[in-house]
Amino acid sequence: MTVLHRAGFVDISGSNCYAVRVIMMAREATVAVTGASGMLGQEVCASAPGWATVVALTRADADLSLPEQARRAIASARPDIVVHCAAYTSVDGATADPEAARLGNEVATRNVAAVCGDTGARLLFVSTDYVFAGASDRPYTEDSMPSPVNMYGFTKLAAEVEAMKVARHLIVRTQWLFGAGGGSFVASILRAARAGKSLRVVQDEIGHPTYAPDLAQGLWRLLETPAEGIVHLTNTGVCSRLELAQAAVAEAGLGDTPISGIPSSEWPSETARPLCAVLESTRLQRLGIAPLRHWREALRDYVAILQERWQEQAND
């Protein structure tokens, strides 16, 4: 368990008096972050505002699928807020091992929610576009009816149901997460491109690429409002997996990489995936929160970080 005190984060770029609202609403609070060593959890801890004392919880602190371990780890932090980033995230892995996915998503969230219910802590649970079928020609809003098509989506939807049992709950659905703190589609594409491989990328899967640092800051903004229920939060802009791959290799200076688009039916996976689960938020504007920046700007920052790492590795 790691306790972190962070400098304040105030966004004054918008025209919605966000900074003024933060000053008026912010108070000191203890925030327990589960999955703190994961891609998103790292960014949530790193971008905590000044009012938050963060208690970073990792798998080493507790197996959240075990009720007593979850209770001991979270209750000992005495949190006012729990940001539940820990999850079983392997989509194909969930198909191969449904029980592992159920434990990591549904059961772990049930246990975290139970502690929040007993202690009165506010719960923010991070969910996914995979709760939707992705068969609609319209974006999914917070009021759209979930209908997952694979085991990963089923376990995340079941986890949402568990989170809803907490009186003060906030469920944030996001999509196509990438960042420097873990593996992602973008990272896989760039590794293959740097290795000189030709790429075959699905061209009929559409969504919002979302940068983990941007999402993390968005979560803190939400926590500085009284928001409850479900909120969709992604970077701005929609693209296909193919377009994302093309943009990534271009940003990395690997634009000569051969990339061919293929239909999802040709991708070697036994897992059905939502093809067009574009998330749209009807709540951010009402909450006075500006949308996250365009995914292309975020991708540029991410690739720059990766290039620094590659240069350091080359110099070692």
CA-closest candidate to residue 132, choices 143, 155, 148, 152: 148
For residue 63, the cross-strand partners are none
Place of tokens 């020609």: 137
How far is it, in rounded angstroms, from Cα 2 to Cα 81? Answer: 16
Region for residue 254 given its phi and psi (left: phi exceeds 0; alpha: psi -120 to 50; beta: otherwise): alpha
CA distances, 205 to each of 60, 64, 176, 240, 242 (Å): 36, 32, 11, 5, 8
How far is it, in rounded angstroms, from Cα 70 to Cα 93? Answer: 23
Q: So which residues are the catalytic ones? A: 152
**178, 241 in Cβ contact below 8 A?**
no
Q: Where are the beta strands (DSSP E) in the chain?
A: 2-5, 29-34, 52-57, 81-84, 122-128, 169-174, 177-178, 199-202, 206-207, 210-211, 229-232, 235-236, 239-240, 259-262, 292-294
- Who contacts 105 (Cβ-Cβ below 8 Å, separation ≥6)? 87, 88, 152, 155, 156, 158, 159
